[in-house]
Structure 1
Amino acid sequence: MDLKKCLDMAEAAKAGQLPEISDLEELACLPEQHVLDLLPAANAVRKHFFGDQVHLCCIVNGKSGKCREDCAFCAQSAYAKTSAPVYPLIDSEKMFQGASYARENGVHRYSLVASGGRLPKAEVRMVAEAFSRMGGDGVGYCASLGILDAQDFALLKEAGVDRYHHNLETAESHFKEICTTHAYGDRVKTIREAKKAGMSVCAGGLFGIGESDLQVLELGLALRDLEVDSVPVNFLIPIKGTRLEKSSDLSPLRCLKIISLLRFALGGKEIVICGGRESNLEELHPLVFYAGASGIMTGDYLTAPGRNPQKDHAMIRRLGLTALREGE
């Protein structure tokens, strides 16, 4: 794919038009040695929609381990043999501490994440009650509590949670290779229920789990069809004791290609680089923004250490970018 074609695709994306599927497929099949040629066009799309502002989010692992689902990558699955922590839903004080951490570190959005296929209704009420007492003050609130129903979403929204996170994880054609204890359609239904409740939706996937580059595109197009608002991009951190402990499908250049492909496919949607960015992108990880990312997750991940927010703020400033604040 030549530079002119990339720039033509960028113009289409900036105009809100989906580039031709054949062009996206050609991009997906691009050899790694040509990936850096994509960055000027992908960056142009990012700048058109987001300017120089970068979205920062952070998470707290609100309930850990003993998940009955068999997701091949997950350290918290009961099917895995890992040393991941196991504990019940944290109390409201610890939830407040997570929000304070976000506020004190200039983070735009804070999310509470709980293990398990679905959080029991009594615990959904506990989470909602805690969020209702947090107040805004520069931080937006998100929750990731598994497969919920309309009643649960209404409760969360009333409590001030304006975004729900629920990944598709991978392309539908690859899903059964990764999880067999629930269906891809269950995830799609949850996303639609959240949107029906009037919530913003954060939904993306995990890469480096055996998917092909064309399946990366398949996932991106599915997310576009669902009209999600934000797309978290995670890169596998292989964890001993999981089925994917020896997986090594990623290189720094492939990670950048995945980001660029999603930017072209998704146009003006948020793309937030989350788990595995440092370990998989290595020295190239500041280039995620030039590949099309509009945000990053900072701080620790669910069961793995992350990156200090102040280091991320310093990196953002050195790149001539600014961190977004809630309400901007």
Structure 2
Amino acid sequence: MEKLIKGIVDKVLAGGAPTPEEALRLSEAEGSAVFDLFRGASKIKEQFVGNEVHLCSIINAKSGRCSEDCAFCAQSAHHKTDAPVYGLVEEERMLESARAAEESGSACFGIITSGTTVRGKELDSILAALRKIRKETSILPSCSLGIIDEETALKLKEAGMDTYHHNLETAESFFPNICTTHPYEDDVNTVRAVKKAGVKVCSGGIFGLGESPAQRIEMAFKLKELDVDSVPINFLNPIEGTKLEGASHITAQECLKTIALYRFILPGKRITVCGGREKNLRDLQSWIFFAGANGTMIGNYLTTLGRNINVDLKMFSDLGLTTVMCAH
């Protein structure tokens, strides 16, 4: 395994890429070979993206009542959870949250809404908020508003949106186990439409849903094909009342190995570890950077609390990592 890892690392550093078969073999690393895998991912990260850490923060701008039936989601109307339910927050609330994110050190601020898409007055309000954030802060705003077309992406871009976030969630072959209310191709087409509009795309998924290692790799190669700009990696935090409330499908080591595999397959992309890191990685949260990540979300998530921001900032300092600052 050590020889295999070294050979693939050398290939990637020289501009090549692992095949899906090679990536699957890497996923089988055990014992001391796991550290070889992390070491290789670190080398690849340093060459292609450096050692800076990109921080992002979000606001849950519209919560609950989603018509989609995603098995993991606390905001789905198909589930009975304690997740908050409210309509789109006011523009000033979005601006205030953006300012707070900027002060905490985030370089990117995401406006996230529940539901299949956003239209009409809600879209107009988000466009107005984007203009204010661009005018009154230095943080780069992003949006995650569900399935959209190129025309909507262009409107968001003109208002100041820097990046559009839309997860594929999992591999196409596993998607029917997770969501049945829209086809996988709708998500793929959203990524393509946003790219066509000339907007950067942040797209990844959730691990620990019950997918196989091969399916984790399948999604990585789909993201590579779509040429997304950044990849958010989430780990399932089972929520009571959802279809996956009792799930326990991934270990801390598998989380780290998944990050490393994604760095091998997507060497030049920003890989950001987001939801579920506190629950799934526990004392190993700092290892995400040794495994190849170069970003993380700070603050709270959509319906669950994140770790104290000051604790995360101290972790970056202890690791000798420099964070990317806000800049238009």
Q: TM-score, normalised by structure 1?
A: 0.96
On the 8 A contact 2:233/2:273 being kept in 1, the answer is yes
On the 8 A contact 1:52/1:320 being kept in 2, the answer is no
* 1:262 pairs with 2:262: yes
Runs of 4+ more than 6 Å apart = none
Secondary structure of 1:234 counterpart: strand
How far residue 251 of structure 1 moved from its aligned partner, in angstroms, is: 1.0
| Aligned equivalent of 1:249 | 249
Secondary structure of 2:110 counterpart: strand
Which deviations, in whole Å up to 9, do the C-alpha atoms of 1:229-271 show, x marking residues without a partner? 0000000000000000010011110100110111111111110
How does 1:67-216 map onto structure 2 within 5 Å?
67-135=66-134, 137-216=137-216
On the 8 A contact 1:14/1:268 being kept in 2, the answer is no
Q: Distance in 1 between the 2:31 and 2:180 partners?
A: 32
Q: Percent identity?
A: 46
On the 8 A contact 1:138/1:325 being kept in 2, the answer is no
Secondary structure of 2:143 counterpart: strand
Secondary structure of 1:190 counterpart: helix
| Aligned equivalent of 2:39 | 40
Q: Distance in 1 between the 2:63 and 2:13 partners?
A: 40
* 1:307 pairs with 2:307: yes
Change (3 A) 1:120 1:285: same
On the 8 A contact 2:105/2:326 being kept in 1, the answer is no
Secondary structure of 1:112 counterpart: strand
Q: Distance in 2 between the 1:251 and 1:259 partners?
A: 13
Secondary structure of 1:322 counterpart: coil
Q: Distance in 2 between the 1:16 and 1:134 partners?
A: 38
How far residue 32 of structure 1 moved from its aligned partner, in angstroms, is: 6.6
Greater Cα offset, 127-136 or 55-64: 127-136
Change (3 A) 1:323 1:20: same
Greater Cα offset, 71-80 or 47-56: 47-56
| Aligned equivalent of 1:59 | 58
Change (3 A) 1:119 1:32: farther
Q: Distance in 1 between the 2:35 and 2:71 partners?
A: 31
On the 8 A contact 2:49/2:269 being kept in 1, the answer is no
Greater Cα offset, 26-35 or 251-260: 26-35
Change (3 A) 1:128 1:166: same
Secondary structure of 2:173 counterpart: helix
On the 8 A contact 1:32/1:253 being kept in 2, the answer is no
Letter in 1 for 2:145: L
Q: Distance in 2 between the 1:215 and 1:39 partners?
A: 20
On the 8 A contact 1:273/1:293 being kept in 2, the answer is yes
Give structure 2 stretches of 5+ with no counterpart: none
Q: Distance in 2 between the 1:173 and 1:72 partners?
A: 15
Q: Distance in 1 between the 2:31 and 2:303 partners?
A: 30
Superposition RMSD in Å? 1.4
Greater Cα offset, 200-209 or 147-156: 147-156
Q: Distance in 2 between the 1:262 and 1:84 partners?
A: 31
Q: TM-score, normalised by structure 2?
A: 0.96
Q: Distance in 2 between the 1:113 and 1:206 partners?
A: 16
Q: Distance in 2 between the 1:210 and 1:183 partners?
A: 19
On the 8 A contact 1:203/1:223 being kept in 2, the answer is yes
Q: Distance in 1 between the 2:254 and 2:45 partners?
A: 19
On the 8 A contact 1:19/1:265 being kept in 2, the answer is yes
Letter in 1 for 2:88: L
How far residue 311 of structure 1 moved from its aligned partner, in angstroms, is: 1.7
Q: Distance in 1 between the 2:154 and 2:326 partners?
A: 22
Which deviations, in whole Å up to 9, do the C-alpha atoms of 1:24-72 show, x marking residues without a partner? 1201233477423311100111111222200000110000000000000
On the 8 A contact 2:52/2:322 being kept in 1, the answer is yes
How far residue 6 of structure 1 moved from its aligned partner, in angstroms, is: 1.7
